[in-house]
Structure 1
């Protein structure tokens, strides 16, 4: 069977840069899936994308799909035939359905008995026919953040489609989509080579499109931007400030990128570096330029979309636009500093944070309340006053002209304005740092004051969200509560802060005041939500799942700090490596199993499981005089010995020593289960033995039932 190349190019008006990569990937995946569903073999897949075109090329595509014999189960034989073996209606109808006679049906054995079976041959479809039928629906199924209609066209697409070039081998495919009809014609650069040209295959297309000033490979365009930007800067003795996001964006903004070196007046260098970079990035998508020390220079690198014969005209155009933008930025910067940040705080009362949680002014007041208690909880009481001041001011820059214009500079401008107002540096930096981390790869706040304010901000948003019913679902999280939770956990973990999550959540609930109607429910729900995020974080750090499950119990993460939980994990890992943990866990599982069964029968009350039982407010009381066997009496004495001082060891985070103490219970527990009937017929004896089990369970400071015990169970 012969194989051919499939070439597809969709030409359109300029598509937004952020749409192109995902659309190309989806188009390739959907075409591959369509061919696989039709059993059409194909080879290597290549893609390309520019602002005006995106396409897919598949090599070695079969001319026809493979035949398939399908085995279809029919009715049971006992129903299909009468007692004499004559076919009944079910057999006849089943055969007619596939154009077969009853004699052509087969019989197969199934778990449900003998059934009739029809073997049907599905012939492979012609590839050309399949593509011409399926490509329009594949293109219509592409996902874009925004779509549009144009003219009288009813099909929605991201931008008007101007041409479709589709070939199978050297044969043009014939189909229509969004008002365009496919053929074998493509187009070059919009201004430098707009004429149509014939496409005969991918190799020829690559040569011809390059001649027509279009670079179809986004990676090559990225190299052109980087190398060209570095070259024009090097010639001037300066360096390109390389912004990965800006590089990726420019790679999809033009079909033939040409970096240029432009300049602006030195007077604008008095503006904050972040502001200069943001003005260049937001308005012109261009790069800043710095010297060897990292200080910005009065130059910038815009990326033109073509090779111009008069670069000075192009450069002057970029300079004219940036000059106007920098003049606006300077005006905003100077105007904003005429009013102190603290004088802007009352304006936050007119800015809504969330309809049920109030204004940003309300939020600032809650953060101020939280600052001292959170600082003390995480062992940073020495920065409490600075944290309280930063909490008051941290949202004030949201109402400045500069942040209204450049929202990404929230916090950054707050720092500059705070310093201009004479605020302590610790306060100013905390205003900026409290937004960290915003993304997964962002650093956490480096300063102590910044850590406290960042925790307060995230705790208020997270707990407030749960209090007013904004719990994230699988598809919605409008206030970024997942991100807020991960930020809290990362700050505590990476700075090894000794704060208890439960205490901090309770402080946040108290700060919300009357907004919270059911405090215990909100605290419980927030802790359980944090439990899931903490598990994911620890698993991604490489900890074993069973150990993570054993430690990430709501009762534990509510009362113990992140350093304690990590130390506990390390101690459990050492116990695994020394070969003692599985046996101990199995012994405690036996205790848990009998207590769980007794709780279901309502013989035992208030048993919440291993881990949670450790924090029970009702210590188990054992009627020692009722116990009869020496084994159980020995177990009771050993349990009391372990109980003595265990909490002191745990308070010192001596988890290795605490585990060693628990190990002394393993042999007596196993002996108890091997030789004593816990569920005795005598009710008093049964209750005493169950109380002993409960007493042992209350020593389990981890959820031992989650730990892998296969090595000892087998």
Structure 2
């Protein structure tokens, strides 16, 4: 059995750059799994993915020429059905044997064995292992079929292919070559109308020869590099670009560094086969434009890497990743500088024109921009956000903050009507901040306008300042309350209005900034801003609150708290800004030796009170005259000493101290349950004991529901 390494390459026209990395990984992964499933690749086999703008390839180690034969045990039917009274095969058995690839001669060889309560007939045979040609054909078909292709192309096969004429093929891009090598031998598989060989193509302009013959599977990458001027490995090309960017930045000036953008780096890696980083520059007059505009146009439109100084300020230099390496790169540099200049000139023109009209002058025009057919225009939405922001500001900082939040909310969406944001929607909010400063508004208002979309994504920074926080909360709340109110709820993986992201942003602001906001009240206030637009606001508000708590639970788990810890705190519905301190208190309490017993006792008390009926009817005022058993007297005395101290610590915000103080009740609580019958037949005794337990239950569950910690 020959064991060699395998190489498969599909040579195609330029692949979509944003999808290339996933395409390469998926091609190699599916191919490898299919080979292993057929016994052609060992469990220790390793697959290496290759992906360049014009090729998808995979190198797989430890591949055999033919899979090992397999013993097959096939149950046919019960003996009573397969054999007649004389022991001869019935027609049913003969038919089953024929389906299994055998005939009547196999009847004497059939094995009898118990199958449950009945004896059955089994046919034992040996299935020959699949050949590499057949197995690779199947694996290649699966790998192509399962590629995460963003958009399929339909194209006609070239004349002379296996399927000539007007036959068409569907693939991500037209394929022109197929290489399949097992060691140094060609495996004659077919795909996309192509028959495998060993010839491929290198760099369009810099290959030493064309076509290139791949001698062996193991020599693929080296041959492409040496003869084809192509770095076939995506990761290797990416690392080479990264190293060249850093080196070029160092040569361009002290303290300079290329902008960090992983997505841009991946995209550029997918655009070149042999990267060559060059340094370019533009006129310094363009630096008068906000750097976010210049950076965005260079990155999005030209795939350039802007250079920043040590203070992260944009310079007039940028880096280009070229796909060619001429002896004199001046023409390439001049060409890129010439191409970027009109882009920067457009940005400067937009910026200059936009500043001729203030943000306040643009606000009335928002009434002409539709926000949602059921929720009105952007102008109407702005008024709702203003009302919510003012209410939030009033609660967080009084009248001064309410006025600042109202002003920022009024102007926050005005930059949507500017030329710059029209050209670059990603700059909404950011440009509003620049234009606010130009209009002479305070830095707080400018920050609030700029930050009101934050956090835009997971891990994004939170708004600066109280006004920005109030407007950001109001903006997200208006979206959530409105969409829930008209029934636009996220379902499964579909969330077209990014409601999960908005909810998590609110959770982060409240928790990380420790804001003392009562969410049910805030949601109700936000809903009131919609007037009669929401059909059943009470119902949708309840749905939204539950939606929020789902996000809260997930967020706390991401912070490292256990499910039990998060559930214990969430169960008592505290202000979200208090949650971190409460969680830390619960975690500290859980480490105490008394914690398991008290958590279990707390759970037991809750069950007793539930069974008592309407627990709110239980009189929590304990009559000392009705305390009879020593254990209940001892518990009452301990509570008299401990609970007031724990309550005082709770009121002072010392949640950890409060729970640790309550830990002293473990022994009297254990003794109470060991020596006292709570549900006594005498009604006054029973109610008194239930009242004692209710008082204890309330004291123990002020910080968190400790029963959630019980095993």
* Whole-angstrom CA distance in 2 between matches of 1:78 and 1:639: 77
Residue in structure 1 matched with residue 513 of structure 2 by the alignment: 495
SS at match of 2:530: helix
Residue in structure 2 matched with residue 611 of structure 1 by the alignment: none
* Whole-angstrom CA distance in 1 between matches of 2:520 and 2:651: 16
Shift of 1:422: 0.9
Residue in structure 2 matched with residue 174 of structure 1 by the alignment: 188
Structure 2 counterpart of 1:200, from 215, 221, 233: 215
TM-score, normalised via structure 1 length: 0.86
Shift of 1:539: 2.2
Deviation readout 1:133-168 (Å, 9 max, x if unpaired): 331232022112222212355443222222222222
* Whole-angstrom CA distance in 1 between matches of 2:695 and 2:52: 69
Shift of 1:416: 0.8
Residue in structure 1 matched with residue 160 of structure 2 by the alignment: none
SS at match of 1:60: strand
Residue in structure 1 matched with residue 287 of structure 2 by the alignment: 269
Residue in structure 2 matched with residue 243 of structure 1 by the alignment: 260
Q: In terms of mean alpha carbon deviation, does 414-423 or 363-372 score higher?
A: 363-372
- Evaluate the alpha carbon distance shift between residue 449 and residue 74 of structure 1 in structure 2; reply closer, same or farther with a 3 A threshold: farther
Deviation readout 1:632-657 (Å, 9 max, x if unpaired): 67767877887768666534323234
Q: Is the contact made by 1:162 and 1:180 (CA closer than 8 Å) also made in structure 2?
A: yes
Residue in structure 1 matched with residue 163 of structure 2 by the alignment: none
Structure 2 counterpart of 1:59, from 61, 65, 73: 61
Shift of 1:127: 2.2
Q: In terms of mean alpha carbon deviation, does 222-231 or 198-207 score higher?
A: 222-231
Shift of 1:676: 4.9
Q: Is the contact made by 1:549 and 1:706 (CA closer than 8 Å) also made in structure 2?
A: yes
The within-5 A match list for 1:150-299 is 150-151=155-156, 154-193=168-207, 195-210=210-225, 211-237=227-253, 239-245=256-262, 246-299=264-317
Q: Is the contact made by 2:133 and 2:189 (CA closer than 8 Å) also made in structure 1?
A: no
- For structure 1, the residue ranges without an aligned partner over 5 or more in a row are 608-615, 710-714
* Whole-angstrom CA distance in 1 between matches of 2:633 and 2:359: 70
SS at match of 1:25: helix
The within-5 A match list for 1:578-617 is 578-596=592-610, 598=611, 604-605=613-614
* Whole-angstrom CA distance in 2 between matches of 1:230 and 1:571: 47
Q: Is the contact made by 2:188 and 2:197 (CA closer than 8 Å) also made in structure 1?
A: yes
Residue in structure 1 matched with residue 154 of structure 2 by the alignment: 149
- For structure 2, the residue ranges without an aligned partner over 5 or more in a row are 157-165
Structure 1 counterpart of 2:452, from 416, 434, 439: 434
- Evaluate the alpha carbon distance shift between residue 440 and residue 115 of structure 1 in structure 2; reply closer, same or farther with a 3 A threshold: farther
* Whole-angstrom CA distance in 2 between matches of 1:87 and 1:511: 83
Residue in structure 1 matched with residue 111 of structure 2 by the alignment: 105
Q: Is the contact made by 1:136 and 1:175 (CA closer than 8 Å) also made in structure 2?
A: no
Deviation readout 1:485-530 (Å, 9 max, x if unpaired): 2222222333333333333333333333323343443333223222
- Evaluate the alpha carbon distance shift between residue 442 and residue 334 of structure 1 in structure 2; reply closer, same or farther with a 3 A threshold: same
* Whole-angstrom CA distance in 2 between matches of 1:551 and 1:95: 65
SS at match of 1:149: strand
Q: Is the contact made by 2:394 and 2:401 (CA closer than 8 Å) also made in structure 1?
A: no
SS at match of 1:183: coil
Shift of 1:286: 0.7
Q: Is the contact made by 1:20 and 1:252 (CA closer than 8 Å) also made in structure 2?
A: yes
Residue in structure 2 matched with residue 571 of structure 1 by the alignment: 585
Shift of 1:661: 5.5
- Evaluate the alpha carbon distance shift between residue 693 and residue 352 of structure 1 in structure 2; reply closer, same or farther with a 3 A threshold: farther
CA-based RMSD = 3.5
* Whole-angstrom CA distance in 1 between matches of 2:339 and 2:288: 19
* Whole-angstrom CA distance in 1 between matches of 2:375 and 2:491: 20
Structure 1 counterpart of 2:138, from 133, 142, 158: 133
Q: Is the contact made by 1:153 and 1:179 (CA closer than 8 Å) also made in structure 2?
A: no
Residue in structure 2 matched with residue 655 of structure 1 by the alignment: 655
Residue in structure 1 matched with residue 41 of structure 2 by the alignment: 41
Q: Is the contact made by 1:140 and 1:155 (CA closer than 8 Å) also made in structure 2?
A: no
Deviation readout 1:406-439 (Å, 9 max, x if unpaired): 1111111111111111111111112112222222
Q: Is the contact made by 1:76 and 1:116 (CA closer than 8 Å) also made in structure 2?
A: yes
Residue in structure 1 matched with residue 426 of structure 2 by the alignment: 408
- Evaluate the alpha carbon distance shift between residue 12 and residue 637 of structure 1 in structure 2; reply closer, same or farther with a 3 A threshold: same
Shift of 1:658: 3.5
TM-score, normalised via structure 2 length: 0.86
Alignment: residue pair count: 688
Residue in structure 2 matched with residue 32 of structure 1 by the alignment: 32
Q: Does 1:2 align with 2:2?
A: yes
Q: In terms of mean alpha carbon deviation, does 331-340 or 201-210 score higher?
A: 201-210
Structure 2 counterpart of 1:461, from 474, 479, 484: 479
Q: Is the contact made by 2:511 and 2:579 (CA closer than 8 Å) also made in structure 1?
A: no
Q: Is the contact made by 2:29 and 2:47 (CA closer than 8 Å) also made in structure 1?
A: no
* Whole-angstrom CA distance in 2 between matches of 1:291 and 1:362: 43
- Evaluate the alpha carbon distance shift between residue 686 and residue 405 of structure 1 in structure 2; reply closer, same or farther with a 3 A threshold: same
- Evaluate the alpha carbon distance shift between residue 266 and residue 361 of structure 1 in structure 2; reply closer, same or farther with a 3 A threshold: same
Shift of 1:671: 4.5
Residue in structure 2 matched with residue 560 of structure 1 by the alignment: 575
* Whole-angstrom CA distance in 1 between matches of 2:231 and 2:373: 50
The within-5 A match list for 1:532-571 is 532-553=550-571, 555-556=572-573, 559-562=574-577, 564-571=578-585
Q: In terms of mean alpha carbon deviation, does 698-707 or 449-458 score higher?
A: 698-707
The within-5 A match list for 1:367-378 is 367-378=385-396
Shift of 1:7: 0.7
Shift of 1:370: 1.4
* Whole-angstrom CA distance in 2 between matches of 1:370 and 1:350: 22
* Whole-angstrom CA distance in 1 between matches of 2:288 and 2:543: 49
* Whole-angstrom CA distance in 1 between matches of 2:296 and 2:601: 61
Q: Is the contact made by 1:572 and 1:581 (CA closer than 8 Å) also made in structure 2?
A: no
* Whole-angstrom CA distance in 2 between matches of 1:655 and 1:229: 51
SS at match of 1:253: coil
* Whole-angstrom CA distance in 2 between matches of 1:666 and 1:252: 64
* Whole-angstrom CA distance in 1 between matches of 2:78 and 2:650: 66
* Whole-angstrom CA distance in 2 between matches of 1:55 and 1:589: 59
- Evaluate the alpha carbon distance shift between residue 201 and residue 501 of structure 1 in structure 2; reply closer, same or farther with a 3 A threshold: farther
Q: Is the contact made by 1:380 and 1:448 (CA closer than 8 Å) also made in structure 2?
A: no
- Evaluate the alpha carbon distance shift between residue 197 and residue 676 of structure 1 in structure 2; reply closer, same or farther with a 3 A threshold: same
* Whole-angstrom CA distance in 1 between matches of 2:324 and 2:684: 92
Q: In terms of mean alpha carbon deviation, does 458-467 or 577-586 score higher?
A: 458-467
